[in-house]
Structure 1
Amino acid sequence: MIKSRTKNRNFSQEDAFNLSELFKLMKPRVMSLVIFTCAVGLLMAPNIIPTKEAIIGIVLVSIGAGAAGALNMWYESDLDALMTRTCLRPIPTGKVNKNQALVFGIFLSVFSVIALDYYSNRISACLLLFTILFYVFIYTIWLKRKTPQNIVIGGAAGALPPVIGWTIATDSLSFEPLTFFLIIFFWTPSHFWALSLYKSSDYKKAKIPMLPLTNGIESTKLNIFVYSITMLPVIILPYVIGFVGLIFLIPSLILTIYYNYLCFELYKFKKNKFDAKKARSIFGYSILYLFLIFVLFLIDKIL
């Protein structure tokens, strides 16, 4: 009896470990951003849906995002093994094999889309399906290894969760939620190119054509600064169309101008060289920046 209990306990521990590794395939940090932006999109909608429906919808969207992450890790496991930033992921370390990741990703994709169609509406399910397919086939399989514009075009997938949140609540699309899309879409390049500057050796080993490798440091710094400037009209747009008021506009402009300043400081550093500390600060601030912008959407609506 004692041996039997010991075996059961060991099996449970091993099972929990496997589940933990499978969960890591879903890129939990990315999922947390998806949950937050999707929730903001839902809460900013003009109508209110029952809390249970809202929670189910947000959870299913995050599962869909996790499915895309798992399929991304399945396809890129050879690259992940070469990069210090990703070499400890479940597949390169042998904790999950490629077939498990593929089956897991496909199952979550099918489940999340069908369940969202059932519990929410068809337009939300279609947008989630498009997001998964775009991230896996357009960004991961097609663009990432072929062009330095991979981040620019691929950013569309990461920009859709708040739009899906809106459609969960409204069962419709309008111009207002597209402002969420534009903010994330134009934010993404400067965010990731700042990372690619101080992680360029990683991308070089993996032969991923990130901008610092294909166009050089100076061009990358210029592009980071230019894309940060494009955030100014994008941030003003929700106010122009009457979606938000000054409570959103003024602090978001201050946050954006400071972002512009950081990117300009990086750009004006020595020609064809960069300050790694400044690049890291841009990457870190960009995460806080996006979070605060979406918090300001909610504050504006409440007040």
Structure 2
Amino acid sequence: MKTVVGQAKSKSFALLFADFKEITKARLAVSVVFSSVAGYFLGADQLSLSAILLLAFGGYCMVGASNAYNQIIERDLDALMNRTANRPIPAGRMTVGAAMAIAIVLTLIGVASLYFLNAKTAMFGAISIFLYTSVYTPLKTKTPLAVFVGAFPGAIPFMLGWVAATNEFGIEPGTLFMIQFFWQFPHFWALGWMLDEDYKKGGFKMLPTGKKDASTALQIIMYTIWMMVISVIPAFGITGDLQLSVPAAILIFIMGGVMLFFALRLYTKRDNGSAKRLMLASVSYITLMQIVYVIDKYIG
């Protein structure tokens, strides 16, 4: 009997943990934490394990809170779409009250953790939650400009790490912000292209023209080019303490060229397969680009 009870408790805990990961979008949160830690490595003169852990923990809490608030607000719309119908709230596995409690606790813990680093880091973290929850989320059913608005909180993590390390905001974290800001447009529009039919079930307006057309594909190309240019600007010595060697800049530009290739392919083919390949290329780009920046700093 004890064995059966123990197995039941273990299964129940596993289900609760799975729902917690879903309500906080764990995979997305981890990728955001990775960006923040990369920014910290770029800004820090001396690495501090305690600071890295605080940044990672606080960052996860802030992203998790934003996603929980988002799923509370969009619970009825999530129920209409295939990709979100099985989320904890629309599937009935979690109450709105429980989700709200998770979101509030994560907000408080996240802000406090980042405040231990410095007040500016906590402020930017809180701003990202506010913009994502109170501006971006309501706009998604109103206008395609929601993606532009959402790019602001989405671009904060890379620069957040620099601010956490230096307690300063200047051209260096501003450049990191701009890199991730422009990257988001080809990434999310490729995702929006793939899931356009499903998004429309929930009334979301994710593509800039509202259609999977040449104009949308052309805008994806233009933002990809801007991303490539801004990603290598530190190699020209005009971004303060944020430096990039010429070999690293060439490598990053080539990686951006891979994204551009898939963006051009989407323009010519305009199919979901091309959009998926662009989306995957964008995920690889942002991760590898940050790794190259960090390696270049420490071996340069």
User: May I ask how many residue pairs the two structures share in their alignment?
Assistant: 295
Q: Closer, same or farther in 2 for the Cα pair 1:96/1:40, shift >3 Å?
A: same
What do the CA deviations read for 1:50-86 (whole angstroms, capped 9, x no partner)? 2122212221111111111111111111121111222
- Written as runs of structure 1 = structure 2, the 5 A alignment for 1:146-165 is 146-165=142-161
Q: TM-score, normalised by structure 2?
A: 0.92
SS in 1 for 2:29: helix
Counterpart pick for 1:103 among 84, 89, 101 = 101
Among candidates 146, 167, 179, match of residue 175 of structure 2: 179
Look up the SS of the partner of 1:105 in the other structure: helix
Q: Decide whether the 8 Å contact of 2:54 with 2:113 is kept in 1.
A: no
**What aligned pairs does 1:229-244 form with structure 2 within 5 A after superposition?**
229-240=225-236, 241=238, 243-244=243-244
The farther-off stretch of 293-302 and 5-14 is: 5-14
Q: CA deviation at 1:6?
A: 5.3
SS of structure 1 residue aligned to 2:45? coil
Partner of 1:71: 69
SS at structure 2 position matched to 1:160 = helix
Q: Report the TM-score, using the length of structure 1 for normalisation.
A: 0.91
User: Would the aligned equivalents of 1:197 and 1:217 in 2 still touch at CA under 8 Å?
Assistant: no
Supply the AA of the counterpart residue of 2:213: I
Whether the 8 Å contact between 1:200 and 1:212 is mirrored in structure 2 is: no
Cα distance in structure 1, aligned partners of 2:176 and 2:97: 36
Q: Is the 8 A contact 2:158 2:180 kept in 1?
A: no
State the 1:7 CA deviation: 4.5
In structure 1, the residue matched to 2:136 is 139
Amino acid at match of 1:129: A
Moved over 4 A (4+): 5-9
The separation in 2 between residues aligned to 1:263 and 1:16, in whole angstroms, is 40
2:273 aligns with one of 267, 277, 288: 277
Instruction: Give CA deviations for 1:88-147 in whole Å, capped at 9, x if unaligned.
Output: 211122111222111211111122102321x21111111111111111111112x21111
Unaligned ranges ≥5, structure 1 = none
**Corresponding residue for residue 53 of structure 1:** 51
Secondary structure in 1 aligned to 2:87?
A: coil
CA distance in structure 1 between the partners assigned to 2:267 and 2:124 by the alignment: 37
Contiguous gaps of at least 5 residues in structure 2: none
User: Secondary structure in 1 aligned to 2:43?
Assistant: coil
Query: Does 2:166 correspond to 1:170?
Result: yes
Letter of the 1:151 partner, please give it.
Answer: V
CA RMSD, 1 decimal? 1.9
Counterpart of 1:261 in structure 2 is 261
User: Offset at 1:49?
Assistant: 4.2
SS at 1:299's partner residue?
A: helix
Which of 199, 202, 210 is matched with 1:203 structurally?
A: 199
Alpha carbons of 1:199 and 1:9: their partners in 2 closer, same or farther (altered >3 Å)?
A: closer
1:10/1:167 CA distance change after superposition, 3 Å: same
Asked if the contact 2:145/2:208 (under 8 Å) is kept, the reply is: no
1:23–1:232: structure 2 CA closer, same or farther, 3 Å change rule? closer
Change (3 A) 1:111 1:285: same
